[in-house]
């Protein structure tokens, strides 16, 4: 093993869905910096093109994809294959209490966060299993394990995604395909703009983690490169917390010595 190349992804074909913003954008740029050829897929193709413009010339390509469209996912899996690594980040949250939540909002959050994830794992996992290798990386959240009022449906989808990926790991492992989840803490992206615009809310979240601050989206990219690479060749069915200690620490009271 040449450890100097442990994290290299030279000539790996990677698809990042959600690459037009936030964590997906930074992941795509980091994967390309490690040698991968990256398709930046997003419903927001202008965002994906901005990502491409920020990366190494020729390493990244923009691709228009709405993951709520089953047929478009099937087409993408056929057009973009063979794919070595699939990363998907597209998700949404409606922060409301259960008693105020509408059925339409429930459907919207579950359709994107869980149903589309299922469609992606099935569509891209098939080719990976046939070829005998691949790495599937999905985004759960601290909300997959720990909640607060207003997180019900989002939290349920993020816990559900972990079980979906664990089962993918069980079913596809014998074919050489790995499947893992990354569980971020609070990260400054458009997804959390609502929180950032409320100073009290923003500061409370910063104080909760052991590091006492929010993450920048680029701080998630190392976990994606790791799980995509041979450095993680024996890692599957796992949930990698990148949460600044959020789930490790359960309160801020410091008992006297």
Catalytic residue numbers, as ranges: 154
Q: Does 68 bind ligand NAD (CB under 6 A)?
A: yes
Q: Select the span of 2-10, 41-49, 172-180, 224-232 touching ligand NAD (CB under 6 A).
A: 41-49
In this structure, what are the phi and psi dihedrals at residue 83, rounded to the nearest 5 degrees? -110, 130
**Cβ proximity to ligand NAD, 49 vs 230, nearer residue:** 49
Nearest distance in Å: CB 112, ligand NAD: 6
**Cβ proximity to ligand NAD, 29 vs 112, nearer residue:** 112
Residue 236 · residue 169 · CB < 8 Å: yes
Q: How far is CA 180 from the centre of its chain?
A: 10
Nearest distance in Å: CB 17, ligand NAD: 6
Q: Tokens in use for 59? A: 């390493």
Q: Does 90 bind ligand NAD (CB under 6 A)?
A: yes
Q: Does 55 bind ligand NAD (CB under 6 A)?
A: no
DSSP, res 210: T
CB atoms within 10 A of CB 78: 10
Q: Does 18 bind ligand NAD (CB under 6 A)?
A: yes
Q: Does 141 bind ligand NAD (CB under 6 A)?
A: yes
Binders of ligand NAD among residues 181 to 220 (CB under 6 A) are: 184, 186-187, 189-192, 217
Tell me the C-alpha distance between 60 and 250, whole Å. 41
Tell me the C-alpha distance between 55 and 73, whole Å. 25
Residues paired with residue 136 on neighbouring β-strands, in sequence order: 86, 179
Q: Which residue's beta carbon is nearest to the bound ligand NAD?
A: 22
Q: Does 241 bind ligand NAD (CB under 6 A)?
A: no
Q: How many CA atoms lie within 13 A of 138 on its CB side?
A: 37
Nearest distance in Å: CB 109, ligand NAD: 10
Q: Does 180 bind ligand NAD (CB under 6 A)?
A: no
The residue from 12, 14, 16, 20 that contacts ligand NAD (CB under 6 A) is 20
Residue 163 · residue 145 · CB < 8 Å: no
Peptide linkage before 226 cis (omega within 30 of 0): no
The residue from 28, 38, 86, 91 that contacts ligand NAD (CB under 6 A) is 91
Q: Find where tokens 């701080």 sit.
A: 219
The residue from 47, 134, 209, 244 that contacts ligand NAD (CB under 6 A) is 47
DSSP, res 112: I
Nearest to 139 by CA among 41, 56, 27, 20: 27
Q: Which residues are at the interface with ligand NAD (CB under 6 A)?
A: 17-18, 20-24, 42-44, 47, 65-68, 89-91, 112, 139, 141, 184, 186-187, 189-192, 217
């Amino acid at each position: 093993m040449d450890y100097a190349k442990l994290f290299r992804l030279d000539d790996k074909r990677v698809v990042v869905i959600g690459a037009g913003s936030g964590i997906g954008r930074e992941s795509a740029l980091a994967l390309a910096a490690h040698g991968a050829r990256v398709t930046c897929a997003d419903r927001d193709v202008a965002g994906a093109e901005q990502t491409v413009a920020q990366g190494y010339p020729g390493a990244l390509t923009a691709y228009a994809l709405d993951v709520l469209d089953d047929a478009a996912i099937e087409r993408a899996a056929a057009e973009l294959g063979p794919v070595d690594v699939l990363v998907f980040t597209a998700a949404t949250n409606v922060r409301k209490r259960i008693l105020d939540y509408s059925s339409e909002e429930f459907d919207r959050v579950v359709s994107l966060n869980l149903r589309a994830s299922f469609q992606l794992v099935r569509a891209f996992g098939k080719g990976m299993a046939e070829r005998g290798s691949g790495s599937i990386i999905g985004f759960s959240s601290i909300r997959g394990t720990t909640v607060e009022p207003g997180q019900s449906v989002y939290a349920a989808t993020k816990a559900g995604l972990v079980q979906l990926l664990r089962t993918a790991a069980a079913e596809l492992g014998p074919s050489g395909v790995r499947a893992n989840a990354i569980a971020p803490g609070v990260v400054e992206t458009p997804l959390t703009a609502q929180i950032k615009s409320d100073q009290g809310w923003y500061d409370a979240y910063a104080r909760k983690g052991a590091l006492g601050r929010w993450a920048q989206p680029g701080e998630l990219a190392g976990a994606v490169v790791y799980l995509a690479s041979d450095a993680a060749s024996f890692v599957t069915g796992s949930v990698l917390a990148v949460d600044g200690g959020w789930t490790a620490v359960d309160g801020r009271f410091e008992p006297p010595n």
